[in-house]
């Protein structure tokens, strides 16, 4: 028996006995052969509900409510019915806090499974904490390279991870998407990259820049900057000097707003024809805060209300997810609504496919071979691109400001996700 399994078997009886109202001390040493008391699985859910990444987590509570309703009667797995109990935690957009709440879920809440979403600042520390504790973990909404290589895996070497799994788009998806999307507007093919000194920026710098160069783009990298930077005058001056007409960035959402206002003041926004954002530029609230500066901004999106898929864990189509959230919250639907739904889709599918989801090793094995339909499309962990990871597609979108100041978003490129229909034409960014 390995240390993780031994640790697991010691913990489970304590929880079981404490819930039954008996003393834990006398029974803790005995391994638990199977769950009783209703076969309840405790599942932790970690996401940024506050702080600079809060837009990503804004709709997570609503999605979780829909999942709770859908699985209220439990799910069948291994010939038994399992009740699913979800415990949600906020990271406050802080990686240190993300690791702390993951450990809290494992050690205090005694969860069997941990889900996390939205950016490497969330999913990487959570995955590391679960890996150390021997608890199955599943995550999404972070480039898979940032999750896999950003946590120490090496290209061409066996995976160092046993318990943590992740599905999302990757750098290759961006390369395919951008090559198609940027061909729809006439430019000089000179790209200015603004990349932070973090896991996202490092992954993009390592893999996307060479891929774009191979596809005929001239790429100028302004160099790494720290998240939260207040003055981008040096980078803006460099982009203007290089004559870039395509701007691409992967910042925290508040940082893009700071940069783009300065870019307009210093003439860069008037020079570029494509403003391609990722990580930022995904939420209507961001664009509304920019006002006219946000009109025509381009982005890569991992979900849209027009996706032709459904979410088994919520029982809703993509359009129903968007409509339901808008009706409940009074706010515009967001790209993260579908992505968070897909996380629950995959998690519930992994539980159902496991012979014994109460056994951590069995649940991890179910994740490793998981094939499942989700709100963002089908995922398949058996096809790579590396162990522990599965990929999903991206579409190119463009934000348009209406007369009332509200923004809508069109799908303008689907080369990386051809099952998804286009909803509008791609046009150049032009500051009025």
Residue 199 pLDDT more than 90? no
Residue range 172-302+394-413 in CATH 3.40.220.10: no
Tens of pLDDT, residue by residue over 33-85, are: 333 345 999 999 999 999 999 999 999 999 999 999 999 999 999 999 999 99
End-to-end CA distance of the chain: 67
Class of domain 3-170+306-391: alpha beta
Q: What's the pLDDT at 200?
A: 82
3-state secondary structure string across 85-97: EEEEEECCCCHHH
Q: How confident is the model at residue 3 (pLDDT cuts 50, 70, 90)?
A: very low
User: What is the reported pLDDT for 38?
Assistant: 55
Q: Provide long-range contacts, Cβ within 8 A and 24+ apart, for 122-126.
A: 122/46, 122/47, 122/48, 122/53, 122/91, 122/93, 122/95, 122/98, 123/147, 123/166, 124/95, 124/150, 124/151, 124/199, 125/95, 125/96, 125/98, 125/99, 126/46, 126/98, 126/99, 126/101, 126/102
Bridge partners of 401? Answer: 407
Average pLDDT over residues 198-204: 85
Residue 40 parent element (H or E): strand 40-47
Q: What is the pLDDT of residues 268-311, one digit of tens each?
A: 999 999 999 998 999 999 999 999 999 999 999 999 999 999 99
* Six token digits for residue 47: 């996401």
71-89 burial code (b ≥16 CB/10 A, e <16): beeebebbeeebebebbbb
DSSP string, 139-150: EESS-HHHHHGG
Which tokens go with 352? 């159902």
Chain-centroid distance of CA 343 in Å reads: 9
pLDDT category of residue 384 using cuts at 50, 70 and 90: confident
**Residues present in the chain in total:** 432
Q: Give the β-pairing of 274-277 and 298-301.
A: parallel
Q: What is the pLDDT of residue 203?
A: 83
Question: Hey, do 3-170+306-391 and 172-302+394-413 end up sharing a CATH topology, with the first three levels equal?
Answer: yes
Between residues 158 and 5, the one the model is more confident about: 158
- Mean pLDDT of the chain, nearest integer: 91
Residue 330: pLDDT over 50:
yes
Residue 77 · residue 55 · CB < 8 Å = no
Other C-beta atoms closer than 10 Å to the C-beta of 194 total 25
Q: Predicted confidence band at 15 (pLDDT cuts at 50, 70, 90)?
A: very low
Q: What is the mean pLDDT of residues 390-415?
A: 95
Cα–Cα distance list, 65 to 17, 102, 180, 215, 341 (Å)? 29, 21, 38, 44, 11
Cα torsion 164, 168, 171, 172 to 10°: value is: 110
Q: Could you give the percent of the chain with pLDDT greater than 70? A: 91
Using the predicted structure, report yes or no on whether residue 22 has a pLDDT greater than 50: no
Q: What is the structure's pLDDT at 24?
A: 33
From CA 187, how far away is CA 192, in angstroms rounded? 13
- Encode 225-246: b = buried (16+ Cβ within 10 Å), e = exposed: bebeeeebeebbebbbeeebbb
CA angle 258–264–265, rounded 5-degree value: 90
Q: Determine the pLDDT at residue 4.
A: 41
β-strand pairing of 316-317 with 310-311: antiparallel
Coil, strand or helix: which one is 99? helix
Residue 43 near residue 84 (C-beta atoms within 8 A): yes
For residue 396, list its beta bridge partners: 300, 413
Identify the CA nearest to 278 among candidates 348, 379, 208, 359.
Answer: 208
User: What's the confidence (pLDDT) of residue 431?
Assistant: 87
With a cut of 80, say whether residue 210 has pLDDT above it.
yes
Quick one: how many helices (H) and strands (E) in the chain? 15, 18
373 torsion bin: left (phi>0), alpha (psi -120 to 50), beta (else): beta
Could you tell me the pTM of the whole model? 0.86
**Domain chopping of the chain, boundaries:** 3-170+306-391, 172-302+394-413
């Amino acid at each position: 028996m390995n240390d993780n399994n031994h640790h697991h078997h010691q913990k489970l009886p304590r929880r079981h006995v404490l819930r039954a109202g008996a003393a834990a001390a006398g029974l803790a040493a005995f391994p638990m052969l199977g769950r009783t008391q209703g076969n309840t699985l405790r599942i932790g859910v970690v996401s940024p509900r506050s702080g600079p990444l809060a837009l990503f987590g804004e709709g997570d509570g609503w999605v979780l409510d829909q999942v709770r309703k859908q699985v209220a009667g439990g799910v069948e797995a291994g010939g038994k019915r399992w009740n699913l109990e979800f415990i949600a935690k906020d990271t406050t957009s802080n990686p240190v806090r993300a690791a702390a709440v993951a450990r809290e879920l494992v050690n205090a809440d005694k969860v069997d499974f941990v889900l996390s979403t939205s950016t490497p600042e969330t999913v990487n520390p959570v995955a590391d904490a679960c890996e150390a504790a021997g608890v199955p973990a599943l995550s999404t909404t972070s480039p898979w390279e940032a999750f896999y290589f950003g946590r120490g895996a090496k290209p061409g070497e066996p995976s160092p991870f046993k318990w943590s799994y992740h599905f999302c788009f990757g750098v290759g998806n961006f390369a395919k998407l951008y090559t198609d999307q940027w061909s729809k507007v006439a430019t000089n093919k000179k790209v200015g990259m603004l990349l932070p000194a973090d896991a996202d920026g490092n992954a993009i710098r390592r893999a996307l820049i060479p891929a774009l160069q191979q596809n005929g783009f001239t790429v100028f990298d302004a160099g790494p900057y720290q998240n939260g930077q207040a003055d981008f005058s040096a980078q803006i001056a460099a982009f203007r000097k290089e004559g870039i007409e395509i701007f691409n960035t992967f910042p925290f959402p508040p940082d893009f707003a700071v940069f783009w206002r300065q870019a307009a003041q210093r003439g860069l926004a008037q020079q570029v024809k494509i403003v391609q954002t990722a990580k930022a530029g995904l939420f209507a609230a961001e664009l509304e805060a920019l006002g006219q500066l946000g009109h025509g901004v381009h982005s890569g999106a991992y979900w849209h209300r027009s996706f032709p898929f459904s979410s088994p864990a919520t029982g809703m189509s993509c359009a129903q997810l968007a409509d339901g959230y808008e009706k409940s919250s009074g706010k515009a639907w967001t790209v993260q609504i579908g992505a968070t739904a897909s996380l629950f889709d995959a998690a519930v599918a992994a539980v159902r496919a496991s012979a014994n989801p109460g056994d951590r090793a069995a649940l991890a094995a179910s994740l490793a071979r998981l094939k499942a339909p989700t709100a963002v499309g089908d995922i398949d962990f058996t096809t790579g691109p590396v162990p522990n990871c599965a990929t999903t597609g991206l579409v190119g979108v463009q934000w348009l400001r209406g007369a009332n100041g509200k923004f809508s978003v069109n799908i303008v490129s689907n080369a990386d996700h051809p099952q998804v229909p286009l909803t509008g034409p791609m046009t150049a960014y032009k500051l009025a």
